[in-house]
Amino acid sequence: MAKRVIIVDDSRAVVATAELALDEMIGSGIIEFKSYLNPLQLLAALQSGSENFDLLISDVNMPEMNGLDLARAIKADDRYKTKPIIILTTESSNEMKMAGKEIGVTGWMVKPFSDEKMVKSIKMVLGV
Amino acid sequence: MDTIRLLIVDDVEDNRLVLRAICRKMEGFEIREAEDGIEAVERVEEWHPNIILMDVMMPRMDGFTASKIIKERYPEIIIMAVTAVVDPQMEENMASIGVSAYIRKPIDKEIIRFKLQSFASLLRAKEGTFKSLSEKEAMNPFSKDIRNFKTIFGITDADAMMDFGMWILGRCEDCMAISCTKVDTVIELFYELMRQGTCQEKWPSIIIEESFEEIFVTMKCEESIDFQPKAMGLLGELGSECIVRANIVSIRLRMQCGSKVALKEISKETIPEPLPIPVVAIKAQAVPNVTASEPILAKEVRVIQSVEKELLRQSFVHKTTAVEYVRDIGGDVLDEIRDLASLDEEWRDKLHILEEEPTSQNLRNFVDGVLGVYVGAINTLFEFTALAYALSALGSFLKENSSMIADDAKKLKNLIMLMEHLGADLASWREHIFSLQDAGDIHYLDSSFFSSCMQIEGIIGDKAVETDDDNEMEFF
């Protein structure tokens, strides 16, 4: 069964480049891909139970809600606390990474990303 | 000079109303009207305006005759002729009696405003410059041993800053003074501080004092100076030649007799063009009342060492919210950015045309047209030069490779898709910053956008995105 990968990023261009990078995995049915531009919408969908994921890839700087706050809120929910979250951001400061680690995110990826790096990381996290 | 007195002379009431409406939007002008040449001369006698907008064809006494009388009596009054008649001879006659500008009807409000602002700056600069003070008390914290005069510039806009720049360069040359790099940095620093001040409507003064071996250039602001990264960097370059206090920045330029450097060569480059200043942020204000004898507290002394430069560059970066930012940039710039909304459709249309007719010319049309307009508009916003740079670099890449892209159907399809998303990102960025103003950090999109542009270049150009090996995903 295809693993559900969700990406949340306020930039449509970032979402589109990620989707292009994962094109083969999506085409071959390894993953199904869903994107959200607004973290609040994703959070609401997750909390209502209408959305679910096997891997969440989240941006940090978004106008509606910071990606780390989003991760914290999701991790506080028993249904999702063991689900992997990867942060995909241009931020690379150690303080930010430490904050992510404390929240319990699985990994930290810095933009811009290469297709190979994206695919490799996702395969590792999902174990596929 | 608190306010500029402006006299509008026109026999048609509607014309006066229009001019009044245009001028009313500019602060710092007091406006009165006259209905013909005779009334204009009377108003001049009783009220002594600084600037006159003069219609040419009027009953009783025409604008030429009135201007001639006024200029003979008060040559310092600036007269701008406003007329519907295209008459080169009249234009020449007007110029010969000292009329400063000849503006054609129908009136272009931007031209009127621009001219008025320029003349107002000139008047203020004239008043601020070469004003000698007898007080010997030094404004600069370096030395009390100064000569018995000061030169004060009241900086209210880019033109006044230009005056200062030209003056200081000239003065340095007269004195055979100072390494030119320092003068360059001083002007750049003050320009940067002025720009910040202008955005916040705080008006600095620049006070120049001289000893026999040094020139002290001191900028005094009405409130504490908030140094942003660029200014911090420039301060670092000046090192111990610069002393900073809460509302004062003072710089010492040492005269080096005999080392006359090529100041003329740098003069043009050194003085920043006034263009990048948001015009709307320039408002006429009184020259702050600078008194030379204000006590300066020694404990506030802070000399910036060059070793601290980098640290400061980082620590002074603070987040600006969209509300704060929009409040500072002013209405006209805001309108210009909001006008970009009309480009959203063109952005999609041009991409659609490219999709229908995949030619390199159509790709170049997209880059030179709608993308170029965007770059131009964003470039006027100081805070977003990185964004403009990212777009313009992507545009150059697309133009250089337009033939290759047009010949590759898959690449073109991906490019169109990605550019559509990029356009949508720009629209949403505009909304969060300028319309909804709900972004807590105006730079929320910058780095992400920058990286997207790089990535698009990577995807379309088959280039690996420049990331080093350490940049693999970090697992926690």
pLDDT in tens, B9-52: 998 888 888 888 888 777 788 999 999 999 999 999 999 999 99
Please give the Cα distance from A124 to A61 (Å, whole number): 25
- Specify whether the backbone of B237 is left (phi greater than 0), alpha (psi in -120 to 50) or beta: alpha
CATH architecture of the domain formed by A3-126: 3-Layer(aba) Sandwich (3.40)
Give the distance from residue B235's alpha carbon to the nearest chain A alpha carbon, in angstroms. Answer: 26
Is B175's pLDDT higher than 70?
Answer: no
Is the pLDDT at B413 greater than 50, yes or no?
A: yes
As given in the structure block, the two tokens for residue B372 are 């170029």
Best residue in A22, A36, A59, A111 for a mutation probing chain B (most B CBs within 10 Å): A111
Q: Are B218 and B290 in contact (CB under 8 A)?
A: no
Task: Provide, as residue numbers in chain B, all residues whose Cβ is less than 8 Å from the Cβ of A64.
Answer: 438
Contact call for B448 and A11, based on CB within 8 A: yes
Q: Which residues of A touch B428 (CB under 8 A)?
A: 10, 12, 37
Size of interface A-B (CB pairs under 8 A): 108
What digits encode the pLDDT tens for the residues B219-262?
A: 888 777 777 778 888 888 887 788 887 788 888 887 654 333 33
Give per-residue pLDDT as tens, A34-91: 999 999 999 999 999 999 999 999 999 888 888 999 999 999 999 998 999 999 988 7
Helix (H, G, I), strand (E, B), or coil: what is residue A46? Answer: helix
B37-53: buried (b, 16+ CB within 10 Å) or exposed (e) per residue?
bbbbbebbeeeebbbbb
Prediction pTM value: 0.49
Distinct helix (H) and strand (E) counts, chain B: 19, 11
Instruction: Write down the pLDDT at residue B147.
Output: 61
Whether the per-residue pLDDT at B196 is higher than 80: the answer is no
* Cβ atoms within 10 Å, residue B296: 16
What are the chain A neighbours of B464 within 8 Å (beta carbons)? 114
Q: Tell me: the pLDDT tens digits for B91-139?
A: 888 888 888 778 877 777 777 877 787 677 667 655 543 333 334 467 7
Question: B439 in contact with A at a CB cutoff of 8 Å?
Answer: yes
B428 shares contact with chain A (CB less than 8 Å): yes
Q: For an interface test with B, give the residue of A8, A9, A10, A88 to mutate (most B CBs within 10 A).
A: A10
Closest to B41 in 3D by CA, of B52, B30, B27: B52
Please give the full DSSP string across B116-162, using - where no structure is assigned. Answer: HHHHHHHHHHHHHTT--------SSSS-S---S-EEEEE--SHHHHH
Task: Tell me the C-alpha distance between A83 and A75, whole Å.
Answer: 8
CB contact under 8 A, B455 and A112: yes
Walk me through the domains of chain B, giving residue ranges and CATH numbers: 4-121 (3.40.50.2300), 150-315 (3.30.565), 322-470 (no CATH)
The string of pLDDT tens digits covering residues A96-109 is: 888 888 898 999 98
- Mean pLDDT throughout B273-285? 29
> Which of A13, A106, A120 comes nearest B452 by C-beta?
A13
Cβ atoms of B179 and B111 closer than 8 Å: no
Q: Which positions 247-306 of B are in contact with A (Cβ < 8 Å)?
A: none
Kindly give, in sequence order, each residue whose CB lies less than 8 Å from that of residue B462, ignoring residues fewer than 6 positions away.
Answer: none
A112/B451 Cβ within 8 A: yes
Of A11, A112, A117, the CB nearest to B454: A112
SS3 call for B29: strand
